[in-house]
Amino acid sequence: MSAVDEAPVAAREDAALDRFRTLLRIPTMSRNDVELTDWEAFDSFIAALPGLYPAVHAALEREQHGRSLLYRWAGSAPTGRPTILMGHYDVVPATDEGWQHPPFAAEITGTGDGRVLWNRGTLDDKGAVVAILEAVERLLGEGFTPQEDVYLSFGHDEETVGTGAQAIVAALRERGIRPALVLDEGGAIVERIFPGVTRPIAVVGVSEKGITSVRLTVEQHGGHASTPPKLTATVRLARAITRLNAKPFPARLTETNLRMVETLGAHASGPLRAVFTRARRLQPLLRAVFGRLSDETRAIVRTTTAVTQLRGSLAANALPETAEAIVNVRIAVGSTVAETLEHIRRAVRDPQVRIEAVDASEPSPVSPSEGAEWDRVAGALAQVHPRAIVTPYIMLGASDSRHFTAIGDTVYRFTPFEMSTEERGTLHARDERIHVRTWLRGIEVYALLLRSS
């Protein structure tokens, strides 16, 4: 491509980047306490979209469900099997403290292909939302119309309770919509996560773990801290937590796990290649290997628990009458909420510790890792990232896509961005950022996927 040819491309990319930065600067922070949520920021985000994406808002129907948005792009010859591209524009809270660059300043460092954009939401998940809008706006400018209907679903409270996505699913179900393909956030293009594999790996989530908060509660007589009983409520609770931590859930390899190992093992080098390519016959060995490689691989093969909140006395010199712990539980595919609670009860072994699930969600059904819709995703990815190995996996986190399994059988979780280990570590943490070139390539993947609609 000549310098003359490159000029309009560079101008287009710079304009897209400016729009992205404009939306990133709007602090749409979700909070569990809705009274503390700045809803004006959400309204500002919604109000900014028509001016930034005029073609989208001229050609597509838009409706609101709460503050979540649903767009419909009418197809030229629809057969009732639409595509749904998803994302969410709310982000987890952030303050300036500890960030190298302010979390809502959308600052860029570096030059050329080394430019990096710093902001809360670049990876999770405004990056995907804006990349989808950019792809649609570009295709409309080229005069493209999909054959099938296309829906864009952008949630406003994915980081908390997901009411927007649930309302959109309810509306689509009432209209009899059964999508051929749903694509939400989830996996990414990563490197060096699998021993012996040096090529980039595109991990496409075909399911996701269940999620629940389990509350452990101990109630007993309080009193002055100067005369404590042998076993206070907090000590009993601490013992329960220690017992639970000492009894991890059993490791299991699901069909998706095995397929991932076989797919990646075929590209591995070194002594583990022989193990990975014989995954089905060597499952006990593989379970042990996954349990030792990293926190991520350990989480792939079992239900996990993490104590995230503790509550005791209201005063330093008073015995607590109620001691409480919240355990964040991610339930492995193949297990259930009921099975999880039974394991916790057996591990705690104390009838005076009340155990109850809060906001429980079962693991999602497993979507196929072959067939026309899988090939659409893999094909679009291959054109932009030809070296990437595409593999199914089970997503460890939770997303709004779990609600869409009620109306579709082919629900995938994949964001077409390259993410290093360090960058993945900024999700829900300080210094969240994305390489500008990575984000621009993501737009290309979405555009290719839409062209196959």
pLDDT tens digits for the chain (453 residues)?
A: 554 456 788 999 999 999 999 999 999 999 988 889 999 999 999 999 999 999 999 999 999 999 999 999 999 999 999 999 999 999 999 999 999 999 999 999 999 999 999 999 999 999 999 999 999 999 999 999 999 999 999 999 999 989 999 999 999 999 999 999 999 999 999 998 888 899 999 999 999 999 999 999 999 998 999 999 999 999 999 999 999 999 999 999 999 999 999 999 999 998 888 888 899 999 998 898 888 888 888 999 999 999 999 999 999 999 999 999 999 999 999 999 999 999 999 999 999 999 999 989 999 999 999 999 999 999 999 999 999 999 999 999 889 999 999 999 999 999 999 999 999 999 999 999 999 999 999 999 999 999 998
Angle between helices 372-384 and 436-451 (to 10 degrees): 140
Q: Which residues of 279-314 are buried (b: 16+ CB within 10 A; e: fewer)?
A: beebbeebbebbeeeeeeeebbbbbbbebeeeebbe
Q: Quote the CA–CA distance of 376 and 12 in Å, as a whole number.
A: 26
Q: Quote the CA–CA distance of 120 and 93 in Å, as a whole number.
A: 8
Instruction: Tell me what pLDDT residue 4 has.
Output: 43
Q: Quote the CA–CA distance of 301 and 250 in Å, as a whole number.
A: 8
Neighbours of 87 (CB within 10 A): 26
Residue 183: strand, helix, or coil: strand
Bridge partners (DSSP) listed for residue 108: 117
Task: Bin 383: left if φ > 0, else alpha if -120 < ψ < 50, else beta.
Answer: alpha
Cβ proximity of 183 and 446 under 8 Å: no
Angle between helices 126-141 and 3-24 (to 10 degrees): 130
Q: Which residues contact 238 (CB under 8 A, 6 or more apart)?
A: none
Amino acid symbol at 92? V
Across 250-373, where does the E strand assignment appear?
A: 304-311, 318-319, 322-331, 354-361
Instruction: Tell me what pLDDT residue 35 has.
Output: 87
Q: Quote the CA–CA distance of 178 and 152 in Å, as a whole number.
A: 14
Q: Quote the CA–CA distance of 371 and 387 in Å, as a whole number.
A: 21
* Strand 210-219 to 68-73 pairing: unpaired
Q: Which residues contact 119 (CB under 8 A, 6 or more apart)?
A: 21, 24, 25, 101, 103, 104, 105, 106, 107, 432, 433
Reading the block at residue 120, the tokens are 């809360």
Sign of CA dihedral 346, 349, 351, 352: negative
Cβ proximity of 445 and 380 under 8 Å: yes
Please compute Rg for the chain using Cα positions.
24
Instruction: Tell me what pLDDT residue 270 has.
Output: 85
Q: Quote the CA–CA distance of 136 and 128 in Å, as a whole number.
A: 12
Residue 236: strand, helix, or coil: helix
Q: Quote the CA–CA distance of 286 and 284 in Å, as a whole number.
A: 5
Q: Catalytic residue numbers? A: 90, 158
Neighbours of 245 (CB within 10 A): 13
CA terminus-to-terminus distance, the chain: 29
Q: Quote the CA–CA distance of 435 and 445 in Å, as a whole number.
A: 16
∠ CA 292-298-301, nearest 5°, is 125
Q: Quote the CA–CA distance of 42 and 46 in Å, as a whole number.
A: 6
Q: Quote the CA–CA distance of 442 and 444 in Å, as a whole number.
A: 5
Closest CA to 377 of 402, 419, 333, 411: 411
Tokens 């509350």 belong to residue: 215
Instruction: Tell me what pLDDT residue 122 has.
Output: 98
Q: Is 452 exposed, middle or buried (0-12, 13-18, 19+ CB in 10 A)?
A: middle
